[in-house]
Amino acid sequence: MDRAKTATGVKLASWLPMRALSGWSVKDLNGDLSAGITLAAIAIPEQMATARLGGFAPQIGFFTFVAGSVAFALLGANRQLSAGADSTITPLFAGGLALIATSGSPHYLALAAMLALMAGLLVALSGVFRLGWIADLLSVPVTTGFLAGISVHIIVSQLPSLLGLPAESGETVRRVGEIAANIHLTNPWSLAIGLGVFAIVFAAGQVSARIPAALIGMVLATLGVVALDLRNRGVEVLG
C-alpha cells in the first residue's frame, strides 16, 4: 500500500509546475545567466529564420520562442532542454497550409495557430499514453528520405530570397521552373549577403560549436546593409 502511494505521489509530482527547478539554488544563477545569454544569441536568429520557412513574419518566430521558453520553464521537466520552433516541421506546416490559404494572410495565420494547437495536443497525448515506441518502427531509409525531402523544400523556398527574386508559391517543381526562368534577374547584393552569412555559419561550425555563428552573421549582415545602403539597392529588409 505504501509503495502504491509513493508511486502515485511521484507521478503526481512529475506534473507539478516548475518541477525542472527542483534543486536549483542561488549559486547556480551565474551559470544559468551565462547559458541563457548564449542560448538566446544562437536561438533567436535561428527562430526568426525558421519563421520565414513557414511563411510567417520573423517577429513571430521571436515571440514564439519567448512564449515556448516561458511555458517550458513552467511545465517542462528537463532543465537542459530549450523549446522553440523546429525547422524540420515548419516547412511541413507551410506546405499543408499553402494548399488552403495564402501565405501570410490572416486566414493563414489562424489556420497555423489551430494546426500548432492540434500538433501540441497529439504530442501531449503521445506522452501520456507512452507512444514513443512507435519511433522504433521507423527505418533509416524512411527518416533519411524524410530529411532529404525537407532539405529540398527548404532550399527551393528560400532561393528567391537569396537571389532577390519575387517569392513563388505552388508545387515545388513549378517553383523551381519559375526560379530558373527568372535567374537573370538575380540581385547580386542579395546573393552576396546570403552567401556571406552562409560562409560565416559554415566556417564557425568547423572551428567550434560554441561560436554563435548565426548571431555573428546577422550582425555583420545588418552592418553591411546599413553601411552600403543596400535597402536602396533592392535588398529586402524586415523593417
Q: Could you report the per-residue pLDDT of 42-71, keeping only the tens digit for each?
A: 788 788 888 888 888 888 888 888 888 888
**Residue 14 contacts by C-beta under 8 Å, 6 or more apart in sequence?**
77
Query: In the predicted model, is pLDDT for residue 12 greater than 50?
Result: no
For residues 192 and 217, what is the distance between their CA atoms, to the nearest angstrom?
A: 12
Please give the pLDDT value at position 131. Answer: 86
Backbone φ and ψ for 58, nearest 5 degrees, come out as -55, -30
Please give the pLDDT value at position 15. Answer: 53
- Sort residue 18 into left (φ over 0), alpha (ψ -120 to 50) or beta: left
Query: In the predicted model, is pLDDT for residue 1 greater than 70?
Result: no
Q: Give pTM, 2 decimals.
A: 0.66
Instruction: Read off the pLDDT band of 199 (50, 70, 90).
Output: very high
Distances (CA, A) of 169 to 55, 99, 210: 10, 10, 36
Instruction: Read off the pLDDT band of 77 (50, 70, 90).
Output: low
Residue type for position 147? L
Asked if 61 and 86 touch (Cβ cutoff 8 Å), the reply is: no
Instruction: Read off the pLDDT band of 99 (50, 70, 90).
Output: confident
For residues 106 and 100, what is the distance between their CA atoms, to the nearest angstrom?
A: 12
Q: Which residue has the cell 488552403?
A: 100
Please give the pLDDT value at position 18. Answer: 63
Residue closest to 187 by CA, chosen among 204, 171, 164? 164
Please give the pLDDT value at position 9. Answer: 47
